[in-house]
Chains A and B, each alone.
Chain A
Amino acid sequence: MKKLSCVLLALAMSFSLLAGCSGNSQKEASSQNSAENSSESSSAKAGETTELKIAIWGDEARAAAYKETLAPFCEANNCTVSIDLIPIGDYFDKLASQLGAGTAPDVFWLADAKEAPFIQGDWCVNLREKLESDPDYHLEDFYEDAINSTDYGDGGIYGVPFSFGARGIFYNKTLFEEAGVKTPQECVADGTWTYETMFDLTKQIHEYDSTKIGVKLWCVGQITNGVQNFADILSAYGANLLNEDSTEFILDSEKGLAVTKMVYDAIYTTGGHAKPGDDTAFVSGNVAMARETYSYMKSMANGDIEFEWDVVPQPYGGEGKNGKLYTGYAYWCANASSKQADLAAELVKYITTSENLLAWCSTFMSPRTSVMESDKIINLGDGYPSADKVKAAFVDSIEERGLFTYRGTSQWTLIQTVVEQNYEMIWAGAVSIEDGVAQMKEDVTALLD
């Protein structure tokens, strides 16, 4: 009898916890509407400093730098800012659990198509009105695709993109000269820079020295992202993983399969492409060509590299120059369920002005015309490639070929996982390319909205 009542008590406690949770969050949902009113009045109260919490990924140095950038904002709005650091690998997991528990920060980052469930869950403030109404903000300065990429049908801006960019191909000049192989820069000059050529160069390097990696299509730290890594090569040949609004899986087209086979051959048959799971860094000097981001140049120039390197735009596909380049976006977002949602939105507006994005452009390439056309982004100084090379690889290539991104869905993280897992099965030789892609199609289609 005693035991039974104990069990019942415990059950009662747990049910009340559940009820409490949904009750709390419902309260927060309704406060979303009153947030604007309440925070306006709270910041109007004289002498009362509000604290805004921001969550980013990165390290303490970055947090300190952002605090500096935000200092004028804090003064003007009588508030303080505290920056929480979340490791990038666990960022979205932690953010989701915080939103669920009601302890989420006022401002946070979202990225790479993973924003869909957050936006569709009404966790982000719609910033369109606020940004459009201020002429000094120059909303039109943003690349159209970029600023509209958080519009899931209602024309809103739920996050301001602050980081984007096409990848470039970094290559080890010294190694190419040693091996007597034609360099990518030379191929670009005489118009023969295609993926076929790139894989051919890979083969030549591999024959010269089989311990060197000829080419690495996955960026450093992103070996487990099959969605991003092959986006460019697929697009160059007129294929892709998903269609434009992410409602259909299209990798199993003829071109898609052909490209997958091309990559598979480069890894296993002719060899030279880094094996899956191999994350040898370009800085080590053992990789002849690597597909990396604009901000990777920073880590190259900071180290004492013993070889000469250069950067070129990504290769063209066999179809000519009509393949768009892939980019992901990272956004600043304001938490709609925060008690200070309006102030948070102001902060997002402040941190994404042309001036502030320009200040951060060596870390984050931002989709504002004023940033992309600035000198600062291409004149990087000593140790970096010359301005015209940087411009050709990262700025002109976007203008010439255009960009595309993947539209997020409510189960995007799982889609990424499933795509990755099926690619692994293909690389592991456990299934044929056709079977692997067919299975991928089945798994992905089950997850599409």
Chain B
Amino acid sequence: MKIEQMTSKQLKSRKQMKKFLKYLVCILVAAVMLFPMYWLFTTSFKTATNVAKYPPQWWPNPWTLANYKELFMKRPFIKYLWNSIYVAVLMTGGVILFSSLAGYAFAKIKFKGNNILFLIILCGMMMPIEVTIIPIYTALSGLKLADSHVGLIVAPMFGYCGAFGTFLMRQYFLTVPTELIEAGKIDGASQPLIFIKILLPMAISSISTLVIFSFLQSWNDYLLPLVLLSDSNKFTLPLGLSLLSNEDGMKWELVMAAATFSTVPILAVFYMCQQKFMESLSMSGLKG
């Protein structure tokens, strides 16, 4: 039956059916995604013996803050948290700055070697870090920079994250009509001015994606800090988490607590940001 032929009542119920299905699918998907998170969250509030219980305790009984207390009072997780935060922020800042500049240039500025240089950067994403970590470590220890956060910030910034960022920004800037840039040039603006005043504000969505991506890469990175850092005062969260297991196995309840508080704040930030992020997109003055 074509839409025009349906009665308004049938239209309404069809619409409701669609809505119901939509919500059903959303809920199912959300359940699969959220279940491990739920498990993580609830286990972090269980006592040590209840963690291993079978059948598993779906709802902690009793709820206890002992695990968090242990992490923050008896173990230096505040320090690890701070290290993780400032390394991630610095790395992300650097990536945004350098990638958006480079991405724009690759997308819109004609210069010799544009394509070749871009492909070289693209290739940088292709060698697994598990093997390049050793030359990087050797070089850094030669420079006496091994046991510091410098390597943690610089290596991904000019490595996988930087390459990804450049790629992402380039792809975005390709969709910007050249007329806009030409208009700026006619008005006498130089390239840096065009970049800062016109293009950067437009690229908010891609930049937000890049922020999320780079921040998470740094936040959850385990291998780089493991190889580069020795002093446990400099450890980031993932390393701190791995110290919770020794020859007697893993302390599940503490691991879950550490994992929860490395995850939940970011989720909260994401939840708040994605509203603004979507809002800014629908307001972008260029299209429609």
Binding site for B on A (CB under 8 A): 14, 17, 20-21, 53, 55, 57-63, 82, 84-85, 87-90, 94, 97-98, 100-103, 105, 211, 219-222, 279-281, 283-286, 293, 295-296, 298-299, 302-306
CB pairs A–B below 8 angstroms (5 shown):
A17-B139, A58-B243, A293-B247, A299-B248, A305-B49
Q: Is the CB of B138 within 8 A of A221?
A: no
Cα A63 to Cα B76 in complex, Å, equals 13
Cα A101 to Cα B139 in complex, Å, equals 9
Return the contact of B54 from the options A53, A57, A284 (Cβ within 8 A). A284
| Also in contact, A221 and B227, with CB within 8 A (given A101-B141, A102-B141, A304-B49) | no
Chain A positions within 8 Å of B250 at CB level: 221
Chain A positions within 8 Å of B142 at CB level: 20
Task: Tell me if B53 is interfacial: C-beta within 8 Å of chain A.
Answer: yes
Cβ-Cβ contact count across A and B, 8 Å cutoff = 107
Task: Tell me if B48 is interfacial: C-beta within 8 Å of chain A.
Answer: yes
CB B52 to nearest CB in A, in angstroms, measures 3
In the complex, residue of chain A having the shortest beta-carbon distance to the beta carbon of B54? A286
CB B223 to nearest CB in A, in angstroms, measures 9
CB A286 to nearest CB in B, in angstroms, measures 5
Return the contact of B244 from the options A53, A59, A222, A286 (Cβ within 8 A). A59
Interface residues as binary, B220-259 with A (CB distance below 8 Å gives 1, 0 otherwise): 0000001100111001000100111111111000000000
Q: Is the CB of A211 within 8 A of B54?
A: yes
Query: Which 7 A-B pairs give the minimum distances between C-beta atoms?
Result: A221-B249, A284-B52, A87-B242, A220-B249, A85-B232, A281-B52, A84-B230
Cα A232 to Cα B239 in complex, Å, equals 34
| Also in contact, A87 and B49, with CB within 8 A (given A60-B76, A94-B226, A221-B245) | no
Chain A positions within 8 Å of B245 at CB level: 87-89, 221
Task: Tell me if B47 is interfacial: C-beta within 8 Å of chain A.
Answer: yes
Cα A53 to Cα B226 in complex, Å, equals 17
Q: Is the CB of B232 within 8 A of A63?
A: yes
Cα A271 to Cα B185 in complex, Å, equals 79
Task: Tell me if B134 is interfacial: C-beta within 8 Å of chain A.
Answer: yes
B34-53 with Cβ < 8 A to chain A: 47-49, 51-53
Chain B positions within 8 Å of A279 at CB level: 249
Q: Is the CB of B248 within 8 A of A295?
A: yes
In the complex, residue of chain B having the shortest beta-carbon distance to the beta carbon of A84? B230
Chain B positions within 8 Å of A295 at CB level: 247-248
| Also in contact, A60 and B54, with CB within 8 A (given A21-B138, A103-B146) | no
Residue of B137, B141, B243, B247 with most partner-chain A CB within 10 A: B247
Q: Is the CB of A97 within 8 A of B134?
A: yes
CB B12 to nearest CB in A, in angstroms, measures 51
